[in-house]
């Protein structure tokens, strides 16, 4: 009997809280989130961070469904083509993979025109990291070496089609350099190889490599953000070095095309409230996730720009990459 009392109180409290919070999402009481990657990955980290807040502001429960495979393309194809556009099913959309999937493979047939972009939540800026005992102490030394020995400096990326692969090419084009690109199966193996001195540098992401940078195992040379970041105030941006490249890996939410306007508005509103919530901002910072909030048409524009950039880049380098 003793145990029951607090339980009743807790239930009452939960009921009261949800009573206040429930904004009554027009589409239904629960929203299914299709995840294109395995549970416990980067997308899942975003899902687990955002969903308690989204439940609070939208008044609906979130149910994650993991459909890994083809770098997210299986889940996104289902979202675009086989999902009832009623607002009860949405997906976490990662850029640039969302676009590069179908840019690079004709067999992948969805496109962003078949989606309703809701909001981008986070962007993990790109970063150049080298081993702690690397001869390259600064970005300038690294870039000079690359200029002197074209095509011989080995640079790891997270895989063909990923953000690091494309940022490497963007940097090569902007600075007229040539690296020896080595694709790995994800960000982890790429920075591990750099840390072990197996490759000269890894083009990676700030949030992913930050624990190793903090421990002194990896040295950051430059980040691909608009401005310097608070966590690493001494690390220059590529823009400062005269290379006009801003790149990273972004994650947000999208729904199928043509969902009811009211559902779209409510989803965007809930995301906006979440992004403005100081608790959410604190939680995100603790997980080394960088909020880069772009809602509705801003997100749509962001996706369209990315599609254009990566489409052009791939068109230019395609023959070169696939000839190897």
Strand partners, 117: 254
Is 169 exposed, middle or buried, given 0-12, 13-18 or 19+ CB atoms closer than 10 A?
buried
Task: Out of 27, 31, 58, 67, name the contact with another protein by CB under 8 A.
Answer: 67
For another protein, what does the binding mask look like between residues 78 and 117, x meaning CB under 8 A? --------------------------xxxxx---------
Residues 142-171 that bind another protein (CB under 8 A): 152, 154, 159-161
- Per-residue tokens: 171: 């940097």
Residues 220-239 that bind another protein (CB under 8 A): none
Task: Out of 58, 118, 195, 275, name the contact with another protein by CB under 8 A.
Answer: 195
**Cβ(58)–Cβ(266) under 8 Å?**
yes
C-beta closer to another protein: residue 189 or 260: 189
The number of beta carbons lying within 10 Å of the beta carbon of residue 225 is: 23
Strand partners, 59: none
Q: What are phi and psi of 204, to 5 degrees?
A: -135, -150
Q: Is 324 in the site for another protein (CB under 8 A)?
A: yes
Strand partners, 251: 94, 122
Contacts of 56 (CB under 8 A, 6+ apart): 21
C-beta closer to another protein: residue 210 or 299: 210
In whole angstroms, the minimum distance from the beta carbon of 24 to another protein comes to: 25
Q: Report how far residue 238's alpha carbon sits from residue 148's, in angstroms, rounded to the nearest whole number.
A: 19
Size of the site for another protein (CB under 8 A): 56
Positions in the binding site for another protein (CB under 8 A):
38-41, 44-45, 48, 64-71, 73-74, 77, 104-108, 152, 154, 159-161, 180-185, 188-189, 192-193, 195-199, 210-212, 214-215, 217, 283, 286-288, 321-322, 324
């Amino acid at each position: 009997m003793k145990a029951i009392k607090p339980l009743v109180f807790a239930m009452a409290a939960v009921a009261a809280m949800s009573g206040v919070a429930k904004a009554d999402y027009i589409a239904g009481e629960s929203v299914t989130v299709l995840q294109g990657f395995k549970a416990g990955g980067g997308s899942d980290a975003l899902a687990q961070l955002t969903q308690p807040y989204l439940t609070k502001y939208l008044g609906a429960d979130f149910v994650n469904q993991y459909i890994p495979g083809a770098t997210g393309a299986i889940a996104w194809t289902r979202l675009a083509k086989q999902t009832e556009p009623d607002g009860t099913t949405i997906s976490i959309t990662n850029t640039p993979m969302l676009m590069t999937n179908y840019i690079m493979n004709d067999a992948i047939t969805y496109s962003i025109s078949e989606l309703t972009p809701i909001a981008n939540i986070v962007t993990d800026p790109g970063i150049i990291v080298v081993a702690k005992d690397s001869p390259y102490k600064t970005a300038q030394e690294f870039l000079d070496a690359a200029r002197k020995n074209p095509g011989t400096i080995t640079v790891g990326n997270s895989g063909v089609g990923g953000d690091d692969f494309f940022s490497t090419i963007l940097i090569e084009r902007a600075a007229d350099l040539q690296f020896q690109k080595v694709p790995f199966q994800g960000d982890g193996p790429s920075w591990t190889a750099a840390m072990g001195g197996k490759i000269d540098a890894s083009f990676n992401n700030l949030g992913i490599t930050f624990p190793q940078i903090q421990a002194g195992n990896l040295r950051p040379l430059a980040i691909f953000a608009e401005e310097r970041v608070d966590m690493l105030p001494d690390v220059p941006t590529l823009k400062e070095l005269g290379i006009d490249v801003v790149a990273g890996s972004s994650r947000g939410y999208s729904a199928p095309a043509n969902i009811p306007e009211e559902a779209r508005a409510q989803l965007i509103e809930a995301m906006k409230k979440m992004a403005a919530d100081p608790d959410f901002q604190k939680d995100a910072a603790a997980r080394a996730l960088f909020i880069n909030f772009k809602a509705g048409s801003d997100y749509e524009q962001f996706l369209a720009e990315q599609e254009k950039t990566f489409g052009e880049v791939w068109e230019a380098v395609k023959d070169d990459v696939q000839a190897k």
